[in-house]
Amino acid sequence: MILERLMASRTASSSVVSKWVPLAAICFGNFVIGTGTLIVPGMLPALADGLRVSLPVAGQLITAFAFTVCVGAPLLAAVTSRIERRTLLVTTQLLFFAGHAAAALLSDFVPMLGARIVTAVGAALFTAQAAATSTLLVLPEERGRAIAFAFLGWSIASVIGMPLGAYVGETYGWRTGFALVAAAALAAAGAVRIGLPAGLRTAPMNFAMWRKLFGHPIILLVVAVTAIQSSAQNTVFFYLVPGMKAFVDATPATVSALLAAFGIAGVVGNAFVGQLADRHGAATLVLWAMLAMLAGHLLWPWSAGSLPVLALSIVVWGLGCFATNSAQQARLAGLSPAHAPVSLALNTSAVYLGHAVGAAAGGALLVGVLGPSAFASLTVLSVPLFLLAIGLSIYAARRCRTIRNP
């Protein structure tokens, strides 16, 4: 009897290890993708100087990257749907490596823009397909936790990516920042190749699947929530570093500390989603997370001249930032598991649409305007968008309950 219990315990332990090792590899891959995405906003002032362009023009590197992912995520998901998942995810990390290695060698804005667009193709594929792949590794009742764990890499990237970009850009130059991401992408390719089992496949995407997806009103409403809330926060997010300098004359060390605080709050918020998503429902957690972000943005204009208020704004915002994305992915996977590869790709597209819209809208508001008042005014755009996203999310949740319980 004792021997049987020991054998059962070892079998269960082996099952847990075999499940979480590939998820850890996916998590690390997402960390690299997140770092590569966030390092440019952190290095934006240094990049603008190095490429001899203005800050709003340098911000187009963010917009172009985001727009490429926005358009590419669903299209590339369809084109690559027949490719075995491990092969696909390894290839995307190698593409990410090549793009950042090239960026470290460039000196002019237009070639740099091209390098960021090529790099964005890797991000467009990895984030969505990593989330969809994680659902293949666990039981249905564990999907929310698995997706949150896979997305934890993005949250950790927020602790390191932007602070690293800000510090490295100011101290060692932006070329070093790109070179570090290139090395990390190469390591992530190896981790995914070793950690993920071979033979993982999703259902091929065809016209019928897309038609069913676009005929699913709740999925489309949830994706719209992602696009709107992403637009809201990124109106300010991509200008955090110059905003901090304008508000409190922040040194590189202070900027890095504030960005790290934002990222740590993001990790904490994402961890709560991982623990609570399967228990309380993803829609409820999305609402809590968006309310936290709204509170942070309401504090932002009052941060000028006050480091404590600035820190509070950033931490409260950070608690909801990455938690929202994880909860939205779990929400979509739960609404229709069969559509997960497509709906999660579309959700990734919506996230990066928000990156593009937010960066462009914030940049347009800052053109020709200097000083703290310009950065404080960014919430004139973000707060109404958050309110719209919250209202739409509540409406989608009610529609979902009505359909399930007519």
Residues 327-378 pLDDT 10s: 888 888 778 777 777 787 788 888 888 888 888 888 888 876 667 788 998 9
Nearest to 115 by CA among 205, 47, 197: 47
5 domain residue, yes or no: no
Q: Tell me what pLDDT residue 274 has.
A: 67
Name the helix (H) or strand (E) containing 2.
helix 2-50
Number of domains in the chain: 1
Nearest to 331 by CA among 206, 216, 177: 216
Q: Three-state DSSP class for 347?
A: helix
Per-residue pLDDT of 175-232, as tens digits, reads 998 999 999 999 999 999 999 998 888 767 666 677 777 777 888 899 999 999 999 9
What span, in angstroms and rounded, lies between the C-alpha atoms of 161 and 99?
17
**Whole-number percent of the chain with pLDDT over 70:** 88
CA angle, 243 as apex, 226 and 255 as ends, to 5°? 95
- What pLDDT score was predicted for residue 191? 94
pLDDT at 385 over 90: yes
Residue 4 located in a structural domain = no
pLDDT of residue 112: 94
Q: Is residue 12 part of a domain?
A: no
Place of tokens 């917009």: 63
pLDDT tier for residue 405 given thresholds of 50, 70 and 90 = very low
* Domain carrying residue 208: 18-404
Within-domain flag for 66: yes
- Closest C-alpha to 138, from 342, 328, 330, 288: 330
8 A C-beta contact, residue 205 and residue 78? yes
N- to C-terminal Cα distance for the chain?
50
Q: Does residue 365 lie within any of the structural domains?
A: yes
Whether residue 261 is contained in a domain is answered as yes
Is residue 9, in this structure, part of any structural domain at all?
A: no
Structural domain contains residue 7: no
What pLDDT, on the 0 to 100 scale, is given for residue 266?
A: 85
391: CATH: 1.20.1250.20
